[in-house]
Homo-oligomer: A and B are copies of this chain.
Amino acid sequence: MEPNIRARQELERLEVVAGNGLLNRRAFLRGGAAFAAAVTGYTVAGSAAAEPLKDDPWSLEMGAVTPPLQTPSRFEKHVVRTLSNPNNELRNSHARTPHHLLNGTITPNSMHFSINHSGLPDIDPAKHRLVIHGMVRQPLVFTVESLLRYPMESRMAFVECSGNSAPMFSNQPVQATAQALHGLVSCSEWTGVRLSTLLDEAGIDPKAKWVIAEGADSLALHRSVPMKKALDDAMVGLYQNGERLMPGNGYPMRLLLPGYQGNMNVKFLRRLKLTEGPAMSYYEGKIYSQLLPDGKAYRFHFLQEVKSFITHPSFGLKMNGPGYYEISGIAYSGNGRISRVMVSADGGKTWAQAALQEPVHSKAFARFRAPWRWNGGPAVLQSRAWDEAGNAQPTRAEFVAVRGETKKPVTNLLSFPNQHYNSITSWGIASDGEIKHVYA
């Protein structure tokens, strides 16, 4: 039987579960992926359309040297972090992860996002010290080497800057990629020492309710951490994805507070002081307070709340004609595991459940995927996530009603009009395959 006829029959049997072509996520599980037969780009060998196959030049010669540290193919040189301060001027520096060009749940170390307020300090690990003092039985000073002797644990965790997605506060959708919009979040396997282990070593005064964490770069950024979090899953992180921390992510050690906003995960950690009350430091009293529309401000907003966004297809990528596509993206919550992600192709009128890549880790990226048959007409793609505690990612209308938006469109993608944006992202697909950022 001519394959295209059989393929079309199989396609018709696939269950449409929501508007504008969204298919049952279990379509993946049925063998016989003829639903992919509508994919353009493959040809039938031997047909008129097929090109003659011959050895390419690289199949006829010795290749390049094997290096001590691998680097990507030159054909992937567009897959990099975008930089806010490429010439290291005396101001802060952000580097954003290219989510629209990555896949899976892990961010490779070269592309983990970073924010550094006074450049990357050149810290000699033999000289670096971690001091634990304040309301303790006995203040202690640790070297890196002594810390490496402690019981380690490894866990997946996302780290997100509270200012990630700040362009989404714009009253008009900014035309930018998932990197520009959401690039200040990444996910790694972190290995280090449970902070509670070290605090127990020093001995905690029962009156101590906070831990002030300070870094060793010239900014000496410090934040106050509630004791409950410090004794929960907080970690002094030493390794990311198997190797020692990247300089931009805190080498030789950082505080890791799974699910808590990025700046509290103090890099280049050098001091932990146990106190009765919070420091109300510059970085919590001024910089990281979120103003509300009524003029009030959150005193603290520790948690990065449930969130998701589609990475493929998205702005900066292009559709290649109607047919089958897999909608793919990432979801995460500072509260724990993602329990469900729904996807819409009609701007939120109807929804289909997406498949979640197992296993789903707590406070880490979950990759969601949804099969979609694009008929070539206009479409608006959205994703919406729920976490295991029952929290729902808010719609834009819900979010703006509480948190507000700017009065004029955001034009500077490196600005932070506000923080803690976790609402829905919508991508508008036009008939010619072009993708825009839209609000719906």
| CB-based nearest B residue for A244 | B76
Residues of B within 8 A of A325 (CB): 149
The contact of A68 among B31, B83, B149, by CB within 8 Å, is B83
Q: How many copies does the complex hold?
A: 2
Does A59 make an interface contact (CB < 8 A)?
yes
Q: Are B191 and A120 in contact (CB under 8 A)?
A: no
Does A79 make an interface contact (CB < 8 A)?
yes
Known: A3-B203, A218-B58. A154 touches B36 (CB 8 A): no
Does A108 make an interface contact (CB < 8 A)?
yes
Give a binary string over A241-276; 1 marks a CB under 8 Å from any B CB, 0 the rest.
111101111011000000000000000001000000
Rounded to whole Å, the gap between the CB of A153 and the closest CB of chain B is 7
Give a binary string over A112-148; 1 marks a CB under 8 Å from any B CB, 0 the rest.
1010101111111101110101000111111101100
Q: Are A197 and B244 in contact (CB under 8 A)?
A: no
The contact of A95 among B66, B74, B138, B200, by CB within 8 Å, is B66
| CB-based nearest B residue for A65 | B88
Known: A105-B242, A123-B73. A196 touches B150 (CB 8 A): no
Does A292 make an interface contact (CB < 8 A)?
no
User: Within residues 38 to 92 of chain A, which ones have a CB less than 8 A from any CB in chain B?
Assistant: 39-46, 50-51, 53, 56, 58-76, 79-83, 85-88, 90
Q: Are A63 and B120 in contact (CB under 8 A)?
A: yes
The listed residue with most B CB atoms (<10 A of its CB), out of A68, A125, A216, is A68
Give the docked Cα–Cα distance between A3 and B137 (Å): 9
Give a binary string over A92-110; 1 marks a CB under 8 Å from any B CB, 0 the rest.
0111000001111111111
Rounded to whole Å, the gap between the CB of A67 and the closest CB of chain B is 8
The contact of A106 among B124, B218, B242, B369, by CB within 8 Å, is B242
Interface residues on A, range: 35 or more
Known: A41-B149, A45-B131, A149-B325. A110 touches B70 (CB 8 A): yes
Residues of B within 8 A of A116 (CB): 63, 66
Rounded to whole Å, the gap between the CB of A378 and the closest CB of chain B is 20
Does A152 make an interface contact (CB < 8 A)?
yes
Q: Are A149 and B326 in contact (CB under 8 A)?
A: yes
The contact of A36 among B80, B107, B197, B367, by CB within 8 Å, is B197
Residues of B within 8 A of A94 (CB): 66
Q: Are A145 and B58 in contact (CB under 8 A)?
A: no
What is the interface of chain A, defined by CB distance below 8 A to chain B?
3, 28, 31-34, 36-37, 39-46, 50-51, 53, 56, 58-76, 79-83, 85-88, 90, 93-95, 101-112, 114, 116, 118-125, 127-129, 131, 133, 137-143, 145-146, 149-154, 189-191, 196-198, 200-201, 203, 216-218, 220, 238-239, 241-244, 246-249, 251-252, 270, 320, 323-326, 328, 357, 359, 361, 367, 369, 371
Given contacts A72-B243, A73-B123, A73-B251, 7 further A-B contacts (CB under 8 A): A44-B138, A59-B121, A61-B218, A64-B120, A69-B110, A75-B123, A102-B239
